[in-house]
Structure 1
Amino acid sequence: MNKKILCIPAAAWGAMAVTALLLYLFPQIDIAVSSLFYTPGEGFEQGGTIWERFVYQSVGVVLVAIYIAALLLWLFNRIRGRNLLAFNGKKLLYILLVGALGSGIFVNLVLKQNWGRPRPDQTTLFGSDRHFTPAFVMSDQRGKSFSSGHTSGAFALLALIFLARRHRGSVAFAVISYGAVVSLARIAAGGHFFSDVMVSIMIMYIVSGVLYARLFGCNGASDAEG
């Protein structure tokens, strides 16, 4: 059985629920993962390195490039009366909405601006002065660790996997690999805890699935092909 709820397999919903519960019950996971990248007296040494800065800066560039390419493809099809990659206005809207609602509004505007969780490199555990706050627990310390904006931006590209019919495996590999590298860079730099990036990934997956179900339906074959 491959039962889906809002275009997301039931097993995936279960896995996300278990993951969230484990991250809530065992905050030691966050501490242990961040400790792998922290050196007492030196801090998070990967922060500010060439590779970390490159990955950090790449997210905005990649998103803008994808959105411009999608817009140009839609305009080309409209103007020339073509159906290249079966890309239409509904698909363009879907790609833009996933990024705007999931990453832009829910993660960056609602969570990051209001949750207050300090970043790893701001806590007493890693050489600073703020108290560690477990995942899903609001704080009054004005931190912006929960959840990861860059991870949510990278995983806004999950929309491409939902839309893909041909070469879906290759698209999935590219998107997930890129998102994983971005998430690793944020953890290694002390900018986010493991739970911060995992929550952003789950949010973007849910937003992608819900919007896809709304715009295309989980069996919306002809509309979604391309």
Structure 2
Amino acid sequence: MLTASRYRFYAVNFGIPLACAVAVFLMFDMTKIDIAFNNYFFDPVTQTFPLDQVHLFEKITHKWARIIPNWTGEIAIIGALLSFLWPRLKAEKHSKIIAFLEKIKVAPVLRFATRHRRDFLYVVFAFSISTGVIHYLKGHTSVYCPIETTLYGGKMEHVEWYENFKLLKTAGDGRCWPGGHASGGFTMLALYFVARRYRWRYSKAIMYGSLTLGFIYGTTRVLQGWHYMSHTFWAGIFVWLACLLTALAFYGRARLEQPVLSKAQQPMPVAQTQPVN
């Protein structure tokens, strides 16, 4: 039988995104709101989305914006790899190496990586699983982007994802649903679950910041005609669920549902605490 705290945890973390999924499906997928919204940014005379022709806008919002999730993922991979180095250094065998690493200030970095090995690995897995889920859905629904469809001067037919979903095989060449660029911003939600593990009082700020980043990424692509707004919402829902399930596997529900610490309750700096893996 579910306890009150466990029920609340599942109701909030699974119930809210699933309720959002139902709302998005009914409000967007079953109506023409997506198309009506995109029409505002389409020029029927030139048959183009004007912002898609602005190269600086494309560079800033699409190419440069990828730096944030890309670098975060790369740091997590490097941290995970480094976390295995320090335990292999034994004082009786590698004293000179250890002394050299201390001298050049690398030893503290290796100790930090070792203490947070599980966190680095979690971020790596959460990013990978989120990306894998989005790629699976793209390939198994074969939805074409607005700019590629006959609605906006393209050659492909507009279809909804549920009209072309194939569970076990690729549905076609379309790769637009859910929003891939938006999902890159939403993957930063993995950092929220790391913060929840340590009950950090600013963890919600990380969550809201990650959600905002994902919506900014997704909306800029809508303005260029490469996505519908619902694609962004779906990306956020699937990435949240992927990060949440991965966090449950790495940390467990009991750890994640603990209330955040107040300023007075904050523990000593990590460098002074015992390793936690």
Tell me which interval the TM-score lies in, with the shorter structure as reference length.
Answer: 0.7 to 0.9
Name the counterpart of 1:192: 227
Residues 79-125 of structure 1: CA deviation (Å, up to 9, x unaligned)? 3477759961211121111211111x2212x2223322111011111
Q: CA deviation at 1:213?
A: 1.2
Identity %: 17
Residue 57 of structure 1 pairs with residue 63 of structure 2: yes
Name the counterpart of 2:168: none
CA contact (8 A) 1:6 1:213 kept: no
Q: What secondary structure sits across from 1:220 in the alignment?
A: helix
Q: What stretches of structure 1 of length at least 5 have no aligned partner?
A: none
CA contact (8 A) 2:76 2:121 kept: no
Name the counterpart of 2:95: none
Name the counterpart of 2:29: 24
Name the counterpart of 2:100: none
Distance 2:14 2:164 in 1: 30
CA contact (8 A) 2:52 2:58 kept: yes
Residue 33 of structure 1 pairs with residue 66 of structure 2: no
Between the two proteins, the alignment pairs up a number of residues equal to 222
CA contact (8 A) 2:20 2:237 kept: no
Residues 42-66 of structure 1: CA deviation (Å, up to 9, x unaligned)? 3111114212322211344222311
Q: TM-score, normalised by structure 1?
A: 0.83
Q: What stretches of structure 2 of length at least 5 have no aligned partner?
A: 87-106, 166-170, 262-269, 271-277
Residue 208 of structure 1 pairs with residue 234 of structure 2: no
Q: What secondary structure sits across from 2:188 in the alignment?
A: helix
1:71–1:119 Cα change, 3 Å: closer
CA contact (8 A) 1:124 1:131 kept: yes
Residue 92 of structure 1 pairs with residue 120 of structure 2: yes
1:96–1:59 Cα change, 3 Å: farther
- Matching residue within 64, 72, 75 for 1:69: 75
CA contact (8 A) 1:151 1:179 kept: yes
Q: TM-score, normalised by structure 2?
A: 0.69
Distance 1:9 1:117 in 2: 26
Residue 177 of structure 1 pairs with residue 205 of structure 2: no
Q: What secondary structure sits across from 1:142 in the alignment?
A: coil
Distance 2:26 2:150 in 1: 25
CA contact (8 A) 1:77 1:88 kept: no
Residue 106 of structure 1 pairs with residue 133 of structure 2: yes
- Matching residue within 18, 27, 36 for 1:13: 18
CA contact (8 A) 1:151 1:201 kept: yes
170-179 or 203-212: which moved more?
Answer: 170-179
Residues 106-146 of structure 1: CA deviation (Å, up to 9, x unaligned)? 212x2223322111011111122222112422176632211
Instruction: Report the structure number with the largest CA radius of gyration.
Output: 2
Return the letter of the residue paired with 1:148: G
Distance 1:12 1:144 in 2: 23
